[in-house]
Amino acid sequence: MRWLLLPFSLLYGFIVILRNKCFDWGIFKQSTFPIPVISVGNITVGGTGKTPHSEFLIHWLEEKFSLALLSRGYKRKTTGFLEVQEHTHVSQVGDEPLQIKQKFPDILVAVDEKRKHGIEQLLAFPNKPELVILDDAFQHRHVLPTYNILLMDFNRTITHDFMLPAGNLREPAFGKARAHCVIVTKCPRNLPETEMEMLKNDLNLKAHQQLYFTAFTYGGLIPVFNNIPRGDSEPGLQGSTVLAVSGIAQPASFYKYLQSLGTGQLIKIEFPDHHSFTGNDTLALKLQFEQIAATKKLIITTEKDAVRLRAVASKEVLEKLPLFYIPIEVFFLKGEETKFKTELLKAIKAE
């Protein structure tokens, strides 16, 4: 089937290359701003860990700068510029911006499909930001970022893939040349140095481009709703039957982590990426949970899915269930977090 789609991939690739050349030649204009702009993005479809890496940046930089995060608000039902509040409905802004606002209430979070316009709006705020993080903006070239971070999934390298629709690439792999650094995400914690070197050789980055490797670390279970006291939010997972609910692009690492905890049976319920949960979905989850014969049982979902589950109209059905999510954070391999921060700060201060 993939081979049948290759002619369409060639056509799509030609259009993308021509568009990028128009930016390179100055035919299409790029805007710069009087404040630093950090872009976090990828060149593949599907999850590469953009949200956890954006949260890593926010957690580190919010003590140094007045921050704003700007996203397009994928799958939202609105258009144009909109500031995200803690209690904004997920359908208005998308799950990722809402998740970030709820975790970092003191920063500005906004959505706008036109990033240039979005930054202009943010700079018009009375409490205008000193630094803007652009989420998923590697292809949004109307803004020229101060620092361009390209993420690549360890399990889906960009050098051996095809363009859409035959493959997963949004643009050819040589587009990585625009990045100031490349971060290989979702790596095993014990990734051998030899394999890192092989990936480095395979990517063949330019001399000025930095290469880093990160893994995910998982936090303790947190109730999706307030029906369970936080002190009781660490039920014993050893031997428990877990109903794992996911509506993300690449759930394999989520399942693998759950299995590593010594759970008993793992029952997987998968929805499409960024799925908007319905009342029927909640009733189906409740029914499937009740059909589990085991006495030790619970439901675990991802942090992103938790944001959307809280917004479902019939959430009272879920509030009666032992429903938890697992937060994730980014961990730099080889102890290179300090090096990454130093290089990024150097670029910001040179702005």
Q: Are 184 and 172 in contact (CB under 8 A)?
A: no
Q: What is the CATH number of the domain that holds 148?
A: 3.40.50.300
Q: Are residues 245 and 184 in the same domain?
A: no
Q: Are 70 and 134 in contact (CB under 8 A)?
A: yes
Q: Are 264 and 241 in contact (CB under 8 A)?
A: yes
Q: Are residues 120 and 173 in the same domain?
A: yes
Q: Are residues 310 and 341 in the same domain?
A: no
The answer as to whether 73 is a domain residue is yes
Q: Are residues 241 and 181 in the same domain?
A: no
The answer as to whether 9 is a domain residue is no
The answer as to whether 274 is a domain residue is yes
Pairing type for strands 131-135 and 37-41 reads parallel
Q: What is the CATH number of the domain that holds 299?
A: 3.40.50
Q: Are residues 138 and 31 in the same domain?
A: yes
Q: Are residues 38 and 109 in the same domain?
A: yes
The answer as to whether 40 is a domain residue is yes
In whole angstroms, give the CA distance from residue 82 to residue 345: 29
Q: Are 73 and 93 in contact (CB under 8 A)?
A: yes
Count the Cβ atoms, other than its own, within 10 Å of residue 94: 25
Q: Are 151 and 183 in contact (CB under 8 A)?
A: yes
The answer as to whether 166 is a domain residue is yes
The answer as to whether 168 is a domain residue is yes
pLDDT digit string (tens) for the chain, length 351 residues: 778 889 899 999 999 999 999 999 999 999 999 999 999 999 999 889 999 999 999 999 999 999 999 999 999 999 999 999 999 999 999 999 999 999 999 999 999 999 999 999 999 999 999 999 999 999 999 999 999 999 999 999 999 899 999 999 999 999 999 999 999 999 999 999 999 999 999 999 999 999 999 999 999 999 999 776 555 445 678 889 999 999 998 898 899 999 998 888 999 999 999 999 999 999 999 999 999 999 999 999 999 999 999 999 888 899 999 999 999 999 999 999 999 999 999 999 876
Q: Are residues 33 and 66 in the same domain?
A: yes
Q: Are residues 68 and 180 in the same domain?
A: yes
Count of domains observed in the chain:
2
The DSSP result for 256-295, as a single string, is HHHHHTT-S-EEEEE--TT----HHHHHHHHHHHHT---S
The pLDDT of residue 233: 46
Q: Are residues 340 and 283 in the same domain?
A: no
Beta strand extents in 107-191 (DSSP E only) = 108-111, 131-135, 147-153, 181-185
Of 214, 217, 156, nearest in space to 187 by CA: 214
Q: Are residues 251 and 145 in the same domain?
A: no
Q: Are residues 171 and 245 in the same domain?
A: no
Of 133, 122, 119, 127, nearest in space to 56 by CA: 133
Tokens encoding 215: 């893994």
Structural domain range at position 172:
25-217+331-349
Q: Are residues 233 and 203 in the same domain?
A: no
The pLDDT of residue 341: 97
The answer as to whether 299 is a domain residue is yes
The DSSP result for 72-119, as a single string, is --TT-S--S-EE--TT--HHHH-HHHHHHHHH-TTSEEEE-SSHHHHH
Per-residue DSSP letter, 227? T
The answer as to whether 277 is a domain residue is yes
In whole angstroms, give the CA distance from residue 252 to residue 80: 34
